[in-house]
Structure 1
């Protein structure tokens, strides 16, 4: 297995509240967050890469410099002159976040438009990571192309991990979202949903039902996150539940799921031990949510 962790998606300009009435500019996005944390958790024998499309303007240049400074390979990133980066603003209330987005000219919407570039980016990957947002921002034909490329990559030996990250406002309609996410799950070795999303948009009775539904779609392993409640890890004929340690002093839940996914996958790729992977994922997520913003240096206990 190639030791390259490749994340596919959209890196955006993030405007995060500083706590004093002002906002701090950074760069983040669900799959970028996971790549950033994976780089910190994976050993030096692993490389971490990011595949997306950006503009040729100054803010795009700054984002690429940010990725390089984080030791994330950007060699496959596409540059599009007529596009730029999307932007989002975080709003916080009682530790919970909501978002406002500006992304109509986001270059990342074109990330799968060039099939040759897409295939080349996947060619050396050992683990390919994407989310429902990756799919949602693409035109329908490009979603199909991306899933075809992932199937080809799996036949060549890569593994695929997927967080459904259900965001209906990004999709044409809720039915399209459910259909595409279910199809994507069938292409994946790891599906890592959040139960809050699944009960809202699929109507699952409990996390076990979410796990069983994604297994039925063809997923290899399903890891259902559920805030402070049990994490469900399931394969066909094997379901286990793990209780994370409680977390106090929750400041900002941004990137909780993204960071969990990163540490879980990093540990599992190394040890293939599910319990250790859940412990790593829950431990990192628990530390992240005690800080503001998506990307925080908190590998050690808070």
Structure 2
């Protein structure tokens, strides 16, 4: 079973009108298309896993409100085992989508970082634990996530960390973050090309402490580097009619981790990750198109 720890929030995805995709009329109106979807990096990975055949569980905190209830219900409908605490106010993120599919985030995480309850029973049957860096940046969630990571590792689970965001990394501090990852020593560390540049990691310099570093590079080949320095590169398929890149990295993780965990075949796992991510690129928000 794949278990994720972190955020379940609402994504408000905004596409600016085609003539104005890269222009926001400050102080006036901007013609847009707006879609509301369930979001949150940890929740996305669990959902994509469940929808593509991997038993999945989500651990987190939502608000004690209608939005929190709706988001949990949506996740359950996708087949995810939802283990949440409901208290406070559920968060939302506004995603501004440019013509090329790239995104800018306006973030209000609500109570997503306030999870302080550790329940060892949530790890029963779990073979993979995936934690976005969003979940490691602020207490009490960060402390709780580390408790889950340590307990899962002691039980033999594969541990995966995703870098999540250059803004989060800068706020946390790059040197401090490197020390955190070295202390966790994840089996898999994932990041995109911008996060890799900020962390000064590449094919010749994998993330210190990680057994496998996976660098997602958009339309360029994914590069995976073992701690011993062996490099694997796999190009993604060409995707026509890209709608939105929101959730593509989470979908990649949901495809990559189960296959890598069971086989340790890096190339096959990357290919599987690419295939799930491609389905997200063709749909609005963190959703899958029809296979």
TM-score range, shorter chain: 0.7 to 0.9
Identify if the C-alpha distance between structure 1 residues 86 and 152 changes in structure 2 by more than 3 Å, giving closer, same or farther.
Answer: same
4+ residue stretches of structure 1 with deviation over 4 A?
Answer: none
Q: How many residues align?
A: 274
Give the TM-score normalised by the residue count of structure 1: 0.82
Report if the CA contact (8 A) 2:5-2:145 is conserved. Answer: no
Between 53-62 and 230-239, report the one with greater CA deviation.
230-239
Query: Which of the two has greater strand per residue?
Result: 2
* CA contact 1:30–1:131 (8 Å) conserved in 2: yes
Q: State yes or no: 1:250 paired with 2:242.
A: yes
Q: Is the 8 A contact 2:46 2:57 kept in 1?
A: yes
Corresponding residue for 1:180?
Answer: 177
Offset at 1:134?
A: 1.2
Residue aligning to 1:285: 277
1:73 to 61, 77, 81: 81
Counterpart in the other structure of 2:216: 225
Give the C-alpha shift of residue 159 in structure 1: 1.4
- Give the corresponding residue for 1:90: 95
Superposed counterparts of 1:127-206, under 5 Å: 127-136=128-137, 138-139=138-139, 142-168=141-167, 170=168, 173-175=171-173, 177-180=174-177, 182-184=179-181, 186-199=184-197, 201-204=198-201
Q: 1:159 to 1:234 in 2, by over 3 A?
A: same
Structure 1 gaps, min length 5: none
Q: Quick one: distance in 2 between partners of 1:18 and 1:150?
A: 37
TM-score, length basis structure 2: 0.85
Using the alignment, how far apart are the partners of 2:218 and 2:104 within structure 1?
Answer: 16
Structure 2 unaligned runs (5+)? 18-31
Q: Over aligned residues, Cα RMSD in angstroms?
A: 2.3
